[in-house]
């Protein structure tokens, strides 16, 4: 009885070690020959000019790649290049109250156009737009909540970009 339990625990231990060797927690499926990345600044070309949006988005995207990959940032002949622009930063009413023209909630939407170039695997190159939103109470002014909302939206857009590039989903 005890011998069977020891065999099961030992087998479980070896299977776990084997699986950890096959999978990284970042889910990265980047070719190991890819060593360098360049993430260019994402200028804000939207009609609404939030002063920190470009810097905040670019920095958060760079941090994601620095923290979750082994890629080295470079400006000289990178293996992969990520660039683009913020094309939309807009507030719109949602959840209109019945019998009234007044919105219960407003929605902040951010859209980012991305161009991804992989010099070692050109078949992976793409151009794509990513968009996400966050709702907030219409009693709030956008200027008072935009930093917190922008941070949440940026993180979700960055998750999508990161997954498309690194996880290859």
Identify the band that residue 50 occupies on the pLDDT scale cut at 50, 70 and 90.
Answer: confident
Instruction: Return the higher-pLDDT residue of 37 and 2.
Output: 37
Q: Please state the CATH superfamily assignment of the domain spanning residues 30-167 in this structure.
A: Lipoprotein like domain (3.30.160.150)
The reported pLDDT for the residue numbered 18 is 47
Residue 84: how many other CB atoms lie within 10 Å: 24
Q: Report whether 95 contacts 105 (CB < 8 A).
A: yes
Strand partners, 72: 36
Residues 6+ apart with CB under 8 A from 20: none
The reported pLDDT for the residue numbered 26 is 45
Region 20-26: mean pLDDT is: 45
Question: What pTM does this model have?
Answer: 0.80
SS3 of residue 98 by DSSP = coil
Rounded to an integer, what distance in angstroms lies between the CA atom of residue 125 and that of residue 134?
29
Tens of pLDDT, residue by residue over 61-108, are: 999 999 999 999 999 999 999 999 999 999 999 877 666 667 789 999
Residue 10 has pLDDT above 70, yes or no: no
Rounded to an integer, what distance in angstroms lies between the CA atom of residue 96 and that of residue 75?
48
Tens of pLDDT, residue by residue over 151-161, are: 999 999 999 99
Rounded to an integer, what distance in angstroms lies between the CA atom of residue 83 and that of residue 116?
7
Q: How many helical (H) and strand (E) elements, i.e. helices and strands, does the chain have?
A: 3, 5
Strand partners, 88: 111
């Amino acid at each position: 009885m005890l011998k069977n339990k020891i065999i099961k625990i030992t087998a479980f231990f070896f299977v776990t070690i084997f699986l950890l060797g096959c999978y990284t927690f970042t889910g990265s499926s980047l070719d190991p020959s890819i060593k360098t990345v360049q993430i260019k600044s994402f200028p804000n070309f939207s009609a609404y000019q939030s002063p920190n949006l470009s810097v905040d988005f670019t920095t958060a995207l760079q941090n994601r790649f620095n923290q979750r990959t082994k890629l080295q940032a470079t400006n000289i002949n990178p293996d992969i290049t990520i660039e683009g622009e913020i094309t939309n930063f807009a507030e719109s009413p949602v959840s209109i109250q019945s019998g009234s023209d007044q919105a219960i909630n407003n929605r902040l939407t951010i859209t980012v156009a991305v161009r991804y170039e992989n010099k070692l695997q050109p078949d992976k190159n793409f151009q794509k737009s990513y968009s996400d939103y966050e709702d907030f109470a219409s009693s709030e002014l956008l200027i008072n909540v935009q930093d917190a909302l922008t941070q949440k939206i940026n993180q979700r857009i960055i998750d999508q970009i990161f997954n498309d590039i690194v996880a290859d989903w």
